[in-house]
Amino acid sequence: MSKHAIASLKLIFFSSSIISLILSFTLIKVHAEESMLPQAPIFIDEEPVTTSYMMRSGHILVPALFFKHTGALVDWDHEYQSVVFQANGKKFALPVGKKFTDDYDSTTGTWKRGSLSTETVQFDGKPFVPLVDVSKKLGMNVKYDPVINRTFITTNISLNKSNFIQKADTSEKLVALTFDDGPENHYTPMILDILKEKGVPATFFVIGDEISSYPEIMRRIVNEGHSIGNHTWSHPDLRKGWSSKVREEIQSTQQELQRVVGRKSDLFRPPYGAITKADLMVLNEIGMRNIHWSVDTLDWGGLPADDILEIVHQDISPGGIILQHNFQHGLLLDGSVEALPRIIDDLRQQGYTFVTIQTLLSR
Ligand SMILES: [Zn+2]
């Protein structure tokens, strides 16, 4: 073999190993990211919920957390590396990598082995479970319509759907100002000064972690007659959290409120307005009202005061709930603070009275 031939061979070997390296990297990536999976809507009690899914030996697998949209509580058992589902009086676990379930028998307090048509798999760090098996075990009806290629789940879970409040049902010209994500010590004092000068009560949806950082500002909010709501401890997207984590986010903030201002709140606002039926079950159990809004000022994006005023003028109606913020991130909320006294004056001129959420909802 000539020197030249050996060199080419080496080159081929070298480049092919690079190619296989690139390929394996690509494959790892393909296998690692949930966003690479196909997505489809699944209808839960007539409402479409889009989810990623994978097919495995003819069975559809979905992320375990998808089931929070049905109202089932979904948790992770670290010790047994299994997903625990609870709904309709049933409780069972799906250990990752296993083709069986552990079913809890509440009459005897024991666990029994149950069957599963395909194993639970871990993908992108998340457990995926067989859709049909889990639905049936939860006491839900599931059917597939091959003509329109759609899956329908009837949950048989009754939920207090009225616990999704965007505004009060009143013709009285009442309006509630709400401020999310505080307390902090830049914008909050400015907002409190304006509210004090105008004699306007507002409602602050506070974050537990911020309360512990700014207890003095938190006390000032309460001392100046404003109402408070719980906005979780760390501002997570509740849809992506286990049910026990959701409960912990709410309860730890309640405890911090109790510690700093001597009382808890009966109001809750989910971060990003994102919430599943399972999270609502948790709220209902704790006895908290789930408050959204009817006027989104979009102030968090750094809108100028004039734009914020225009949004308020367009979207305001009797019983309305206005969403603004008081977090510290650069100077993003300058426009919001500038708009505040003008919002108050303008709406008063239109005949509106400012009240807290509690007062608004008692009408
Ligand atoms: Zn928020």
Per-residue pLDDT tens over the stretch 15-68: 444 444 444 444 444 456 888 999 999 999 999 999 999 999 999 999 999 999
Q: Classify residue 162: in a domain, yes or no.
A: no
Report the residue count for the chain: 363
Q: Classify residue 133: in a domain, yes or no.
A: yes
State yes or no: is 306 an active-site residue: no
User: Domain check: are 182 and 130 in the same one?
Assistant: no
Catalytic residue among 75, 133, 180, 279: 180
Per-residue pLDDT tens over the stretch 210-233: 999 999 999 999 999 999 999 999
- Residue-level pLDDT at 7: 42
User: Domain check: are 194 and 129 in the same one?
Assistant: no
DSSP state of 273: G
How many Å lie between the centroid of ligand 1 and the Cα of residue 272?
Answer: 6
Q: How many CB atoms lie within 10 A of CB 139?
A: 14
Query: What b/e sequence results for 15-36 when a residue is b if at least 16 CB atoms lie within 10 Å of its CB, and e otherwise?
Result: eeeeeeeeeeeeeeeeeeeeee
What string of H, E and C letters represents the secondary structure of 219-267?
A: HHHHHCCCEEEECCCCCCCHHHCCHHHHHHHHHHHHHHHHHHHCCCCCE
User: Domain check: are 141 and 207 in the same one?
Assistant: no
DSSP state of 157: -
Final residue belonging to a domain, choices 122, 154, 186? 154
How many Å lie between the centroid of ligand 1 and the Cα of residue 324?
Answer: 10
Which tokens belong to 110?
A: 């024991």
Total of domains in the chain: 2
Q: How many Å apart are CA 170 and CA 362, to the nearest integer?
A: 10
Q: Classify residue 109: in a domain, yes or no.
A: yes
Task: Please report, for residues 140, 192, 354, the alpha-carbon distance to residue 197 in angstroms, rounded to integers and kept in the order given.
Answer: 55, 9, 14
State yes or no: is 313 an active-site residue: no
User: Domain check: are 105 and 180 in the same one?
Assistant: no
Would you say 357 and 178 are in contact if contact means Cβ atoms under 8 Å apart? yes
User: Domain check: are 194 and 248 in the same one?
Assistant: yes
Q: Classify residue 123: in a domain, yes or no.
A: yes
User: Domain check: are 178 and 75 in the same one?
Assistant: no
Q: At 149, which CATH number?
A: 3.30.457.10
pTM: 0.88
**Domain range holding 125?**
36-154
User: Domain check: are 119 and 206 in the same one?
Assistant: no
Q: At 349, which CATH number?
A: 3.20.20.370
- Residue-level pLDDT at 363: 82
Would you say 302 and 152 are in contact if contact means Cβ atoms under 8 Å apart? no
Catalytic residue among 69, 231, 235, 325: 325
